[in-house]
Structure 1
């Protein structure tokens, strides 16, 4: 990856980043229909490039086995979280990605601290974990519906008016702990307009195959639109940090939102710059011995090393030349 290309990606996602310490007001600071001057036909190729880069870097991340990546996706209903995951991660190895969705907490989860259930689903080293909704539900839904605090069995003296500021601080410290231990935290808020949400809700009602995605509860939550906008603005202001910044991705145009999400994740992996492990001199000698044995097994008329025969640079990388093809009828020496 050239430095120039890395800089272009950084410039592209720059307007989406919430500056740490800034005071955010969503309706003023971020346009859900922003598209950076791109056209949809150009976006298709850009997304394809982003998916390809993700596949390359994910393989290196898994091979290095040093860093892990946590991707947190937050949005209102119909914001496009599922589609973003499906399209952006379409080219990666599913063995290296784990997706977790968090619904209403269970009785067991309520018997623990509010971050406990999220900690159970963190990535391992070499893995990308995606939270479809995340620990930020604890300062969003729980804030808009404070009756949920009662279900969390908190001591009376901890449910005061400062609880949200305290939780922001606790979440920031938790994310700093994760990053200090090699786990990058990527946070994306899919910013949907109220009118686009209405349109998507109607589509889910009008199309029978989409009915399962709609619930009357979605309309009830929509009535709390202003409360959620305030909660999101407060959350973005308080928890966008140098070690784990928020990115507000315009979500009214699904194709553009997916390009942004891919670019943000690629940027994170490029910053890590994972490398394939160097096997060391002794292990390389063993590889060459194994290579020689395998070459000796080549059938008559076949190249000793078919891959190196097609890719001479691969043979040079091992410090050996590819052996020439055998003439038909010439078998393996019995010496």
Structure 2
């Protein structure tokens, strides 16, 4: 039953988030060096009194188990703490940097996954021909080229060919729609290309397998149009591994966006995480990584539900 599947996935989600929260909490505290001394050393003279005051304010003078329980309990109530430097709520800091990353991720995933289906189907239909070989070579190249390197090359080429084209920084869509899309073109291409290359090869393989099944031969024998055979009968079964891979790639896309954001000077979660790690801003690092993980887990949760809708056998 679908309800049983939903309940099982919710339990899995809770267990994964619990495990990730423990790992993040412990790993940050295992980083070599005194985090309190590093925090104070950037802005003030490091004295035992100042270190003790900050350690008490952050709760670092308590046992680890108590620290975790206090932090996890507050997080469950929506309180992710306050930034050590700005004093602002961590949730506000994350929301401020979330939208650029979310926009970049959605655009890249929409373009990469959206083009992968027709490209993969075309590769399957042209199997063994020159066009299929050329597209497969292009897909392999797209998988091997790092996104950050591709971004740097595109910035250099654009500086030569169109110096007036704005490719760095970020402008909110609500403020300047044209400027926003203009600045998102290159980073979106840099992130979408590996997704397109990966998923198109997956769709091609799944389509070739589906097109060789008996029910496809039966549909063709009954005189069904080739377009109907490919896009209605074969594609539905080929989408099962595709949907699963999209959920997995979303998590990697969030990770890849961190580097690409640095290349294109986009003030997203990637730059926020890197800055927080460098400053040993415990509350901000913990909350940001937890939010990114929550996004990844929720995406895979929705993919599991969609998987159950596509393949009725999963519901049982």
Structure 1-normalised TM-score? 0.24
Identify the structure with the greater helix proportion: 2
Give the structure-2-normalised TM-score.
Answer: 0.25
Structure holding more strand per residue: 1
